[in-house]
Structure 1
């Protein structure tokens, strides 16, 4: 295989990196079904960090805020395969098979699945298509996605609700949610969706609850947390800025100095 960092066709993704790499995206819009070939995948939510080691298979439910990091193993590389189940496909599958409505899914949104030779064989069967992407097609991807659904339901029938619960986030406590998820760097529109609001009502409710705009509050909250981690916990600015929700170190340093009158390294 001519290794590239990422090979994507249709809803199938192969990843191969030789150094630690954080995901640029914190929002998972569709269900993700993944297999770690080598290295580790660290999935950080507001509840903590789940480590997917080499040889493990996991499921991540849609509409989640997660910071993921690819960590190469002793052999020097991180490799994985991921398949994404979009809602259009799952609705079509449900209609074709005349499936009964699913119950509201209330289980863990990040699942580490037990070892299974059929699922291991399934991911092995995808590798030749990444070796020879010219042989891949949308029809093949659709067939392999259908196979993945069948294998998951065979492994654990309770995953039916995980896959086929099409309900959208309902209106929830805005203050509690934002205080738990402020460190995830996603647009206000994503926070609005995840709290069950339109963007306009999210901004309006936010102003009522916090007395300021989402952008101003998020920056103040992230900077306050960064100050605490650097001053009280002894962490380095280069270790902190991504964890609290900033995109790059220079913007973080500029904002930090503007807020506290001193650069982060001098706290």
Structure 2
């Protein structure tokens, strides 16, 4: 997401357990866990970040996450720096970095602690809360500083940071089987498979012999049935995991398909 659409530096604070569901990550993110626990999944593996951990999210990925305050009370708190494409393009031209060819890497990278990371994140304190420093030029300087620090400590990230290509056309069937449980807009699925929305729908119907919407509903309910019947999970535990936003809508769709409410399975 471009820097004019969201703050370049963002603090997240919660006093209660917060299950956020799904999110599309449109830009690279450099983040620090100040307190509490952050559990995040990219659909293949689960990563857990505790107080003092640093992480890097690669753009153009889907994630699910849970934010939990410290055990015994306190506040979940993290700070994130968004490395938008415009900033990275300008940086690459000014510093002589050439755009990289696309390289497949992990969506979530746990960064080893480093004194530069900690001192940088501590320097962001003025950007937190009411009366925070919101001067765009100062924020831009901090984002550039974050890029310099990442390149100094993790030189291999240059291949990721300066890859400005869009996702290439990939196998649609395997992608959807892996990512059906992410509740994002259809245009996101299309983009991540390297297709326009129209081409995505056309290719989808050729492969699955049904529309994306119908297939997603069927596949999500199928997975929910398995989780409830075979794994003994409840509807309230399952519905978000399989891609539904609302428990009542899930229960209605489940009963409509299987003839029984989830609690009767």
> TM > 0.5 between the two?
yes
- Structure 1's unaligned 5+ residue stretches are 1-7
Among 215, 218, 234, the alignment partner of 1:217 is 215
Structure 1 residues 166-205: aligned runs within 5 Å: 166-205=164-203
Q: 1:68 to 1:24 in 2, by over 3 A?
A: same
Report how many residues are paired. Answer: 260
TM-score using structure 2 length: 0.94
1:118-133 paired onto structure 2 within 5 Å: 118-131=116-129, 133=131
Give the structure 2 partner of residue 152 of structure 1: 150
| 2:11 paired residue among 9, 14, 32 | 14
Query: C-alpha distance in 1, partners of 2:127/2:230?
Result: 50
Query: Which position in structure 1 is the counterpart of 2:43?
Result: 46
Q: 1:231 aligns with which of 225, 229, 238?
A: 229
Equivalent residues of 1:19, 1:71 under 8 A apart? yes
Please tell me whether residue 71 in structure 1 is matched to residue 72 in structure 2.
Answer: no
Give the deviation of 1:22 after TM superposition: 2.1
Query: What is the deviation of 1:42?
Result: 0.7
Determine the C-alpha separation between the residues in 1 that align with 2:132 and 2:235. 45
- 2:250 maps to 252
Structure 2: gaps (5+ residues) = none
Please say if 1:99 is aligned against 2:97.
yes
> How far off its partner does 1:167 sit?
1.3
Deviation at 1:119, TM superposition (A): 0.8
The runs of 4+ residues in structure 1 deviating greater than 6 Å are: none
Find the counterpart in structure 2 of residue 142 from structure 1.
140
Measure the CA separation in 1 of the matches of 2:88 and 2:195.
24
Q: Tell me if 1:59 matches 2:82.
A: no
8 Å CA contact 1:9, 1:136 repeated in 2? no
Quote the residue 1:5 is aligned against.
none
Partner of 2:204: 206
Q: CA deviation at 1:86?
A: 1.1
